Amino acid sequence: MTSKFAALAANVSDTFRVELIDPITDDVLRDKAGNAAYIDVLSVDSEAGRKFDADARQRAFRSARKSRTGHPDIDPDEENRRKLAQLTRGWRLVDPVSREGLDVPCTPENALELYCEAGMAWLFDQVFAGAANAGNFMRRRSTTSSPSPRPSFETPTS
């Protein structure tokens, strides 16, 4: 059954391709062949994102119960990195200096390592912003249309 609000919903089951911007040049990072570096991610509101959030609430609850203060001992930045690793579905990574592609398989474990690596905030911020922006997952109406047929009584202009 389709929701009466379905037309308003973002298509959170699709991935969004975040082309990585080189922080020095502000251009899309490309390999020597001109292929863009990118990371494909699901929306933070996708099924995977919502499952991660539910699990995170359980972890926070358990942590709070164990703590002496009643507050969870959870680092929100670490949680965001873990969530993004679960949302990452594919990539083409490029060394910004050599412009060589990095042959590292896209797995949740490798994604977490990538996002947690010191000095990777420039990359994490771009990808997390892409996953968190609902507009990246909205259905778009086609902007290309075929020309309207000209009525037969109208004379073409040159």
- Domain count across the chain: 1
- The residue range of the domain holding 45 is 21-135
- The answer to whether position 69 is within a domain reads yes
- The answer to whether position 105 is within a domain reads yes
* Highest-pLDDT range among 4-8, 12-16, 71-75, 86-90: 86-90
- The answer to whether position 28 is within a domain reads yes
pTM, 2 dp: 0.80
Instruction: Check: CB of residue 112 under 8 Å from CB of residue 82.
Output: yes
- The answer to whether position 116 is within a domain reads yes
- The answer to whether position 66 is within a domain reads yes
Segments of the chain assigned E as strands: 15-19, 38-42, 88-94, 101-102
- The answer to whether position 129 is within a domain reads yes
* Residue 1 C-alpha from the chain's centroid: 28
Each residue's pLDDT tens digit, 28-87? 999 999 999 999 999 999 999 999 989 988 888 887 777 777 766 678 899 999 999 999
Closest Cα to residue 29, out of 148, 128, 127?
127
Instruction: Check: CB of residue 82 under 8 Å from CB of residue 49.
Output: no
- The answer to whether position 72 is within a domain reads yes
